[in-house]
């Protein structure tokens, strides 16, 4: 059951079967007049519609909310991708079904507005196979069928920068409360963090109003680079909340005359931004962590889960590094992993086991970038681990020392990554062929668009020399 804190009381939102109990009462109590119906696309960009509150309530009683199916397959450049020319031309409607458990106040937006995520369904009533929420939900169902429940916690990094209206110019460090911009790294610096206290205060206040489970915030290595930790919980809810958090951060930065970016590598000479994922699996009935034994040792299941990550992450990197820019992050000595080595409490490894007793035993997947679609990065991690368990794959020997020196099995470019993923039948089968085809096609279109651009580097070094 999900509860929402109100000034006078806590409103219980769902009964034991997950059905809405008093949606009308909550909307009225919060003074909500309209609702943004949010549909995450393949890139994790929010699409959707704004509805009157009455329309949302009517949709709970079978009144249809429709959206063109093409909304899920829009590239970052704004181009449409369809299965074929005919399907693109027809662009049939899909039905939006609001997930009432995700309903929350839209803190920082216009007064009287709320947010709700929606699931998408085809005309025949089946879930849209290319919807990222549905992909993650289907992966969670694989675990549920085995009596297991995944628990995850994202760590999301981002940069605050000076406003950057001209994309031809690199982002500049933001000016903080002191009136000065950072000129040197300040990892974990409290004074550096305090430079952006007004922005941070707004982020936490609005996140609390939206019931986002934020934990700690730190200053990362880069100038104006921050990291937020989410409390552990249900992967689907956390993926929703990660997208809402991005929206809060961008708005808070703008309100204070700054910009915010979740690009993986926004500044060439500075640290990159990641979305580390902490993952454990518990018994659904007892909540006992299945990754450790009673003596606090690693379980066989944990070993196989890590073995699956090591085997299949190199074949599915577009789920964790979905853009050309993502691969600029995955370079040695740039505060990002370049391997799928594992070790205990060793941040040079792509897969880190934090020091913990049984209840908190988990693996930290350090490969995803901040630009990754959280639904797909979570689904991909769980699929790789699931295959490891099913195929009883053994993890490699534990890495020692600086794992950045280990030979990398990861692709170096998006082009190579897409080719590897297209050939990885075990993962494609669990993702669903319809989703895999749509996702790979979308990324290929984006790659073609990028490759058609002549860059400043090419003009600088080739124009007068070759």
Question: Do 114 and 144 lie in a common domain?
Answer: no
Indicate if 260 and 366 belong to the same structural domain. Answer: yes
Class of residue 93 by CB neighbours under 10 A (exposed 0-12, middle 13-18, buried 19+): middle
β partners of residue 352: 343, 364
CATH assignment of the domain containing 427: 3.30.590.10
| CATH code, domain carrying 93 | 3.10.20.70
Q: Does any domain span residue 282? A: yes
Compute the CA torsion angle 46, 49, 53, 56 (nearest 10 deg): -90
Annotate the chain with three-state secondary structure: CCEEECCCCEEECECCCCCECCHHHHHHHCCCCEEEEEEECCCCCEEEEEEEHHHHHHHCCCCCCEEEHHHHHECCCCCECCCCHHHHHHCCEEEEEECHHHCEECCCCCCCEEEEEEEEECCCCCECCCCHHHHHHHHHHHHHHCCEEEEEEEEEEEEEEECCCCCCCCCCCCECCCCCECCCCCCCCHHHHHCCHHHHHHHHHHHHHCCCCEEEEEECCCCCEEEEEECCECHHHHHHHHHHHHHHHHHHHHHCCEEEECCCCCCCCCCCCEEEEEEEEEECCCCCECCECCCCCECHHHHHHHHHHHHHHHHCHHHCCCCCCHHHHCCCCCCCCCCCCEEECCCCCCEEECCCCHHHCCEEECCCECCCCHHHHHHHHHHHHHHHHHHCCCCCCCCCCCHHHCCCCCCCCHHHHHHHHHCCHHHHHHHCHHHHHHHHHHHHHHHHHHHCCCCHHHHHHHCCCC
Does residue 416 share a domain with residue 300?
yes
Residue 190: per-residue pLDDT: 93
Task: Single out the residue of 402, 404, 403, 441 nearest to residue 421, CA to CA.
Answer: 441
The Cα 356–Cα 292 span in angstroms is 10
115 and 182 in one domain?
A: no
Instruction: Indicate the residue among 128, 151, 175 that finishes a domain.
Output: 128
| Number of CB atoms found within 10 A of residue 54's CB | 14
Q: How far is CA 92 from CA 44, 68, 76, 95, in A?
A: 21, 6, 21, 10
Question: Taking phi first (over 0 means left), then psi (-120 to 50 degrees means alpha), and beta for anything else, what does residue 343 get?
Answer: beta
* 286: in domain: yes
Looking from the CA of 246 toward its CB, the CA atoms found within 13 Å total 23
Q: Give CA–CA dist 332/317, Å, rounded.
A: 17
Looking at the structure, do residues 332 and 395 belong to the same domain, yes or no? yes
Give domain status of residue 134, yes or no.
no
Please report the pLDDT score of residue 376 as a whole number. 98
Residue 305's alpha-carbon distances to 313, 395, 404, 429, in angstroms, are 12, 8, 22, 18
Are residues 162 and 120 part of one domain? no
Per-residue pLDDT of the chain (466 residues; tens, 9 = 90+): 233 333 332 334 433 333 345 788 889 999 999 999 999 999 999 999 999 999 999 998 877 899 999 999 999 999 888 644 455 557 889 999 999 999 999 998 889 999 999 999 998 999 999 999 999 999 999 999 999 999 999 999 999 999 999 998 899 999 999 999 988 888 999 999 999 999 999 999 999 999 999 999 999 999 999 999 999 999 999 999 999 999 999 999 999 999 999 999 999 989 999 999 999 999 999 999 999 999 999 999 999 999 999 999 999 999 999 999 999 999 876 668 899 999 999 999 999 999 999 999 999 999 999 999 999 999 999 999 999 999 999 999 999 988 888 888 999 999 999 999 999 999 999 999 999 999 999 999 999 999 999 999 999 999 999 9
**Which residue bears the tokens 């997947």?**
365
pTM value is 0.93
Q: Domain residues for 452?
A: 140-459
217: tokens are 């915030």
Q: Are residues 212 and 111 in the same domain?
A: no
The Cα–Cα gap between 275 and 306 comes to 18
Tokens of 135: 């992909």
* Domain final position from 128, 162, 178: 128
Domain for residue 133, yes or no?
Answer: no
In a domain, 197, yes or no: yes
**Maximum distance among all alpha carbons in the chain?**
72
**Are residue 72 and residue 96 in the same domain, yes or no?**
yes
Inside any domain, residue 274? yes
**120 and 223, same domain (yes or no):** no
- The count of structural domains within the chain is 2
Give residue 108's pLDDT.
Answer: 87
C-alpha dist (Å) from residue 416 to 75, 324, 372: 19, 11, 17
Same domain, yes or no, for 57 and 112? yes
In a shared domain, residues 32 and 177: no
Handedness of CA 383, 384, 388, 391 (dihedral sign): positive
Tell me whether residue 347 is in a domain: yes
Residue 418: is it exposed, middle or buried by C-beta count within 10 angstroms (0-12/13-18/19+)?
Answer: buried
pLDDT at 136: 98
Alpha-carbon distance of 211 to 102, in angstroms, equals 10
Which residues have a Cβ under 8 Å from the Cβ of 242 and sit 6 or more positions away? 154, 156, 230, 275, 374
Last residue of a domain, one of 104, 128, 152: 128
309 and 419 assigned to the same domain: yes
11 with 26: CB under 8 angstroms? yes
User: How far is residue 142 from each of residues 12, 115, 135, 387, 391, measured CA to CA in Å?
Assistant: 29, 29, 11, 11, 15
Give the model's pLDDT for residue 14. 39
């Amino acid at each position: 059951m999900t509860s929402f804190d109100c000034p006078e009381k806590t409103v219980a939102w769902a009964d034991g079967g997950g059905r809405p109990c008093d949606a009308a009462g909550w909307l009225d109590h919060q003074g909500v007049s309209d609702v943004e119906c949010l549909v995450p696309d393949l890139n994790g960009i929010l699409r959707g519609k704004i509805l009157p509150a009455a329309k949302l309530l009517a949709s709970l009683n079978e009144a249809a909310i429709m959206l063109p199916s093409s909304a899920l397959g829009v590239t970052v450049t704004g181009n449409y991708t369809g299965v074929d020319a005919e399907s693109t031309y027809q662009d049939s409607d899909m039905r939006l079904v609001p997930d009432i458990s995700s309903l929350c106040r839209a803190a920082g937006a216009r007064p009287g507005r709320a947010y709700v995520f929606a699931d998408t369904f085809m005309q025949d009533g089946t879930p849209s196979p290319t919807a990222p929420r549905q992909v993650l939900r289907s992966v969670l169902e694989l675990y549920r069928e085995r009596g297991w429940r995944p628990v995850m916690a994202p760590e999301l990094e981002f940069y605050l920068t000076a406003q950057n209206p001209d994309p031809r110019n690199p982002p500049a460090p933001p000016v903080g409360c002191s009136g000065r911009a950072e000129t040197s790294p300040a990892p974990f610096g409290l004074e550096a963090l305090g430079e952006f206290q007004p922005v941070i205060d707004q982020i936490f206040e609005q996140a609390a109003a939206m019931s986002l489970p934020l934990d700690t915030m730190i200053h990362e290595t880069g100038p104006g680079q921050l990291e937020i930790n989410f409390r552990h919980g249900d992967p689907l809810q956390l993926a929703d909340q990660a997208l809402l958090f991005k929206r809060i951060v961008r708005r808070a930065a703008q309100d204070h005359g700054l910009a915010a970016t979740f690009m993986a590598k926004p500044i060439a000479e500075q640290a990159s931004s990641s979305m580390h994922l902490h993952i454990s699996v518990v018994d659904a009935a007892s909540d006992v962590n299945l990754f450790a034994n009673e003596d606090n040792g690693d379980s066989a299941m944990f070993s196989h889960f890590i073995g699956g990550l090591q085997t299949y992450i190199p074949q599915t990197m577009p789920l964790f590094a979905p853009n050309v820019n993502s691969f600029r992050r995955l370079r040695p000595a740039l505060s990002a992993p370049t391997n799928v080595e594992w070790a205990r409490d060793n941040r040079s490894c792509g897969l880190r086991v934090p020091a913990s007793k049984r209840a908190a035993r988990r693996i930290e997947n350090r490969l995803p970038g901040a630009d990754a679609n959280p639904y797909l990065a979570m689904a991909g991690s769980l699929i790789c681990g699931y295959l490891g368990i099913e195929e009883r794959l053994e993890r490699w020997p534990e890495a020692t020392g600086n794992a950045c020196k280990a030979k990398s099995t990861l692709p170096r470019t998006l082009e190579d990554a897409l080719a590897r993923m297209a050939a990885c039948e075990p993962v494609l089968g669990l993702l669903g062929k319809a989703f895999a085809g749509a996702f790979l096609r979308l990324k290929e279109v984006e790659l073609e668009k990028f490759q058609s651009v002549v860059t400043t580097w090419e003009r600088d070094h080739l124009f007068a020399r070759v």
